[in-house]
C-alpha cells in the first residue's frame, strides 16, 4: 500500500508539467472558439491523441498509479486549460471506467481500445445512465434490457439523456433494468457496439457551459446486442440478482452495489479534480489582474476587499485539492469510504469552483462579465460540477446516510 503523501514524485511532476504545457499551448488558445461553436473539438482531441494524452495507455498509467494521484493530477491540469475541451478529451474515460469496473478481461481488452481509436482516426465513447425521469433517482430507471435466450441476445429499449458523446460515440455503455422488482439492484450495464441498429441520437442540448463537450439524448429502439456485451457476463449477473432477491425476501440486509453506482463512486473524486482545475484557473486570472490593475494610483490587490477574497479563494482551492487527493488515495488503496469521502471531495470541490469563479468575476469587475476575459466562461463551466454525477444535494444525502449507517440507494 502506497503511503499518503502531498508531494508528487519526480515522474508525476514530469507528467504534470507535460499536461500543463499541452493545456497552455493547445487547449487554452482554442477554448473561446469551441465554446462559441458549441461543437466537439475534434482537431484538439486528435492533437491530444498524437502526443499520447488521448489514449488507453495514458489513462491506464494514471488509473493504476499506486498513489492514486495520477488521475486527479491529470484532470486538474487539463481542466485548468478549459473545461469544455477537457471534457471532450476525458469524457470517454467515464465509459472506460464503467467497463474496467464491471467488465471481464476479454471485454476490457476488446472494447476499450475501440473507444479511443488511434491518432489518425480518433473515436469517443459514451456512458449512458441518466434518463428524463431518472437522474439522481437511479431506481426510477425505465430503460429495459430483456434477454432473448433463442438468439443469446439482449434487447434494449428506452431513452437516455445528458449523455456526454451520446450519439456520436463509437461505443456506448448503457445501464438498463433487467429486473424491475429489485429497483437499483436490478440494473446491469451493456456495451452497444459501433453501428448497432436501433441506436440513434435524440436531442442535442445547447448548454450554459462546457459547450465544447457534446451532450445529447440516446434513443434505444429494439437495440439487439450479443450476450457477450453484458458487462461481467450473464453468470455473474444471475448470481448477483439471486443474492439480491434472497436479501429482499429476508427484509433487506447487506446492500448490493449496482453497476452504475460503482462507476460513479470511482469517478467522483476525478470530478472534484476537474472542479479544482477550473477554480485554480479563475483564481490565477484574478490574482494576475489584481496585481496589475491600477485604481487610485495603486494595484487593486492593495485593497483589503480584494486581497481577502484572493486569500479565501486560494485557501478553498487547496482544501478542495486535499480532499480530492485523500479520496483518490483511499480508493486506489482499497480503503473504505466510511464517511463518504469520495462524495465529500466532489461536494466541496464543486461548490468551491462555483464560488471562486464568481469571485474572480467580481474582482475583474465589468471586464470579468465580458467574453474578453476567460473568467466569464469559467464561471459558466463551473455550474456543471454541482450537477453532474450526483448533484450537491445528492452528495450531502450520501454523506449524511453514510454517517448515520444507513444504506445508499
Distance, in Å, from the CA atom of 364 to the CA atom of 304, rounded to the nearest integer, reads: 15
Instruction: Name the CATH superfamily for 259-403.
Output: Butyryl-CoA Dehydrogenase, subunit A, domain 3 (1.20.140.10)
Cβ–Cβ under 8 Å, residues 48 and 106: no
Distance, in Å, from the CA atom of 404 to the CA atom of 369, rounded to the nearest integer, reads: 43
pTM: 0.91
Q: Which residues of 207-275 form beta strands (DSSP E)?
A: 215-226
Distance, in Å, from the CA atom of 35 to the CA atom of 179, rounded to the nearest integer, reads: 41
Give me the helices (H) in 205-340, please: 234-249, 259-292, 304-332
What is the pLDDT at residue 57?
A: 87
- What are the extents of the domains in the chain? 10-122, 125-249, 259-403
Q: Is 389 a catalytic residue?
A: yes
CATH code linked to domain 10-122 = 1.10.540.10
At residue 383 the predicted structure's pLDDT band, cuts being 50, 70 and 90, is very high
At residue 137 the predicted structure's pLDDT band, cuts being 50, 70 and 90, is low
Give the residue among 84, 80, 82 at the shortest CA–CA distance from 281. 80
**pLDDT tens for residues 82-120?**
999 999 999 998 899 889 889 999 999 999 999 999 989
Q: Please, how many CA atoms are within 13 Å of residue 214, restricted to the half-sphere of its CB?
A: 21
Three-state DSSP state, 150:
coil
Distances in Å between the Cα of 378 and the Cα atoms of 18, 21, 108, 165, 325 are 22, 19, 35, 21, 23
**pLDDT tens for residues 225-235?**
999 999 999 99
Three-state DSSP state, 141:
coil
Q: Grid coordinates standing for 174?
A: 448503457
Element (H, E) at 154: strand 153-164
At residue 163 the predicted structure's pLDDT band, cuts being 50, 70 and 90, is very high
Distance, in Å, from the CA atom of 273 to the CA atom of 288, rounded to the nearest integer, reads: 23
Element (H, E) at 188: strand 187-192
**pLDDT tens for residues 343-353?**
999 999 999 99
Residues 6 or more apart whose Cβ sits within 8 Å of residue 318: none
What is the pLDDT at residue 255?
A: 47
Span 26-44, average pLDDT:
97
Burial tier of 159 (Cβ tally within 10 Å: 0-12, 13-18, 19+): middle
Span 184-198, average pLDDT:
95
Q: Which fold has domain 125-249?
A: Butyryl-CoA Dehydrogenase, subunit A; domain 2 (2.40.110)
What is the pLDDT at residue 100?
A: 86
Amino acid at each position: 500500500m502506497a503511503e499518503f503523501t502531498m508531494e508528487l514524485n519526480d515522474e508525476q511532476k514530469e507528467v504534470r508539467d507535460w499536461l500543463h504545457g499541452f493545456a497552455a499551448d493547445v487547449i487554452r488558445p482554442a477554448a473561446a472558439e469551441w465554446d462559441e461553436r458549441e461543437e466537439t473539438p475534434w482537431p484538439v482531441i486528435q492533437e491530444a491523441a498524437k502526443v499520447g494524452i488521448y489514449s488507453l495507455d495514458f489513462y491506464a498509467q494514471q488509473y493504476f498509479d499506486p498513489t492514486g494521484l495520477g488521475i486527479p493530477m491529470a484532470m486538474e491540469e487539463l481542466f485548468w486549460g478549459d473545461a469544455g475541451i477537457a471534457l471532450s478529451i476525458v469524457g470517454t474515460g467515464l465509459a472506460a471506467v464503467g467497463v474496467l469496473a464491471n467488465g471481464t478481461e476479454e471485454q476490457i481488452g476488446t472494447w476499450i481500445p475501440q473507444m479511443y481509436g488511434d491518432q489518425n482516426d480518433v473515436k469517443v465513447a459514451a456512458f449512458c445512465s441518466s434518463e428524463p425521469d431518472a437522474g439522481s433517482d437511479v431506481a426510477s430507471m425505465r430503460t429495459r434490457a430483456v434477454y432473448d435466450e433463442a438468439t443469446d441476445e439482449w434487447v434494449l429499449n428506452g431513452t437516455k439523456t445528458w449523455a456526454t458523446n451520446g450519439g456520436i460515440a463509437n461505443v456506448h455503455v448503457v445501464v438498463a433494468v433487467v429486473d424491475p422488482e429489485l429497483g437499483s439492484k436490478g440494473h446491469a450495464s451493456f456495451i452497444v457496439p459501433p453501428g448497432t441498429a436501433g441506436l440513434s441520437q435524440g436531442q442535442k442540448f445547447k448548454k450554459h457551459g462546457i459547450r465544447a463537450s457534446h451532450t445529447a439524448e440516446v434513443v434505444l429502439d429494439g437495440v439487439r446486442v450479443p450476450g457477450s456485451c453484458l458487462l461481467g457476463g450473464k453468470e455473474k449477473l444471475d448470481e448477483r440478482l439471486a443474492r439480491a432477491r434472497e436479501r429482499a425476501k429476508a427484509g433487506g440486509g447487506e446492500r448490493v452495489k449496482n453497476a452504475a453506482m460503482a462507476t460513479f463512486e470511482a469517478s467522483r473524486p476525478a470530478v472534484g479534480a476537474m472542479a479544482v482545475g477550473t477554480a485554480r484557473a479563475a483564481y490565477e486570472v484574478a490574482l494576475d489582474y489584481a496585481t496589475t490593475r491600477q485604481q487610485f494610483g495603486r494595484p487593486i490587490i492593495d485593497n483589503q476587499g480584494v486581497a481577502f477574497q484572493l486569500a479565501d479563494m486560494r485557501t478553498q482551492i487547496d482544501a478542495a485539492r486535499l480532499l480530492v487527493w485523500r479520496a483518490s488515495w483511499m480508493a486506489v488503496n482499497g480503503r473504505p469510504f466510511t464517511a463518504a469521502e469520495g462524495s465529500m471531495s466532489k461536494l466541496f470541490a464543486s461548490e468551491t469552483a462555483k464560488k471562486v469563479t464568481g469571485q474572480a468575476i467580481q474582482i475583474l469587475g465589468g471586464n470579468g462579465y465580458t467574453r474578453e476575459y476567460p473568467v466569464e466562461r469559467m464561471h459558466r463551466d463551473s455550474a456543471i460540477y454541482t450537477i453532474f454525477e450526483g448533484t450537491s444535494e445528492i452528495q450531502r444525502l450520501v454523506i449524511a446516510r453514510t454517517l448515520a449507517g444507513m444504506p445508499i440507494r
